[in-house]
A and B are shown apart, each in its own frame.
Chain A
């Protein structure tokens, strides 16, 4: 058999064990769902304290961010994430972890060019493309409003 990148990639595929998909997906489902339930609990907690619903939702998100940052600092978030996969990536806690993990890690290169600059090394694109998408949407929304 002639060894080409194509034939080799077939060999590689056969030799590489697959990820445990069923386990990964169910863990992502349960842990991700659990984080959302926790968020819902905070929403009710803040509403119970007399905060309006929409503000309560924002405060719940910030609470989750705080918890994720604390768990990151205590070297725990990555351990949960190893099991949870997308279950800890997709919720806002994953965004918070990506920023705090980078902040902790790059502190060794100083506060300005280390911590300050590299905090956004993973979360940066989320902000860049999220805000850009919102501006594009806003432009369309504004145009439609002018008609």
Chain B
């Protein structure tokens, strides 16, 4: 297990930092959570596009891929790969192809959860 420790530490620190930045935005700005999520994904596309984010993923693994910036990065990577393979059409197919796993899983599991569970009052 010990050989995995540095990778876990890097994932923890980078992931934690990206979340702490999100908390700064919640506490000190009027951004709603939905705005912050949207901002993270769009920023992720940008950072992925200019080639910066893939380096962070290389360094921190899940610490960079699990936060929603990683989702944006995945979209950028998907578009790039699709254009390389299909040309112009890839502009439109790449994003959804790359995001398909996450979105499809979230929506299908959510549907199942709604069938099985009932919302409850807080506390």
- A positions within 8 Å CB-CB of B: 19, 21, 24-44, 57-58, 60-62, 64-66, 69-70, 72-75, 78-79, 85-87, 89-96, 98-105, 107, 115, 119, 122-123, 125-127, 129-131, 133-135, 137-142, 145
Which residues of B pack against A, CB within 8 Å?
Answer: 4, 7-8, 11-28, 33-38, 40-42, 44-46, 48-49, 60-63, 65-68, 70-72, 75-76, 78-80, 82-83, 87-88, 90-92, 94-96, 98-99, 101-103, 105-107, 109-114, 116-120, 122
Tell me the complex Cα distance, A73–B103, Å: 18
A133-B42 in contact given A69-B106, A75-B120, A138-B91 (Cβ < 8 Å): yes
Pair B76/A134 contact, Cβ less than 8 Å:
yes
Return the chain B residue nearest A21 by Cβ.
B27
Known: A90-B22, A127-B99. 10 other contacts (CB 8 A): A28-B20, A28-B22, A39-B11, A89-B19, A92-B68, A96-B106, A102-B110, A130-B72, A133-B46, A141-B83
Q: How many A-B residue pairs have CB under 8 A?
A: 284
B80 to chain A, nearest CB (A): 6
Q: Find the B residue at minimum CB distance from A27.
A: B23
Contact A69-B12, Cβ < 8 Å, known A90-B19, A92-B102, A133-B41: no
**17 interchain pairs, CB-CB under 8 A:** A28-B16, A33-B11, A33-B15, A33-B16, A36-B16, A65-B109, A72-B117, A86-B25, A92-B67, A95-B102, A100-B113, A119-B107, A130-B41, A133-B41, A133-B75, A141-B79, A141-B80
Chain B residues within an 8 Å CB radius of A91: 15, 19, 66-68
Chain B interface SS verdict (over half): helix
Contact with A86, one of B19, B46, B72, B111 (Cβ below 8 angstroms):
B19
Are A119 and B90 neighbours in the complex by a CB distance under 8 Å?
Answer: no
Q: How far is the CB of A89 from chain B (nearest CB, A)?
A: 5
- Decide if the interface of chain A is mainly helix, strand, loop or mixed: helix
A25-B102 in contact (CB<8A): no
Closest chain-A Cβ to B35's Cβ sits at a distance in Å of 8
A35 with B33: in contact, given A107-B114, A129-B38 (CB under 8 Å)?
no
- Chain B residues near A43: list those with CB within 8 A: 61-62
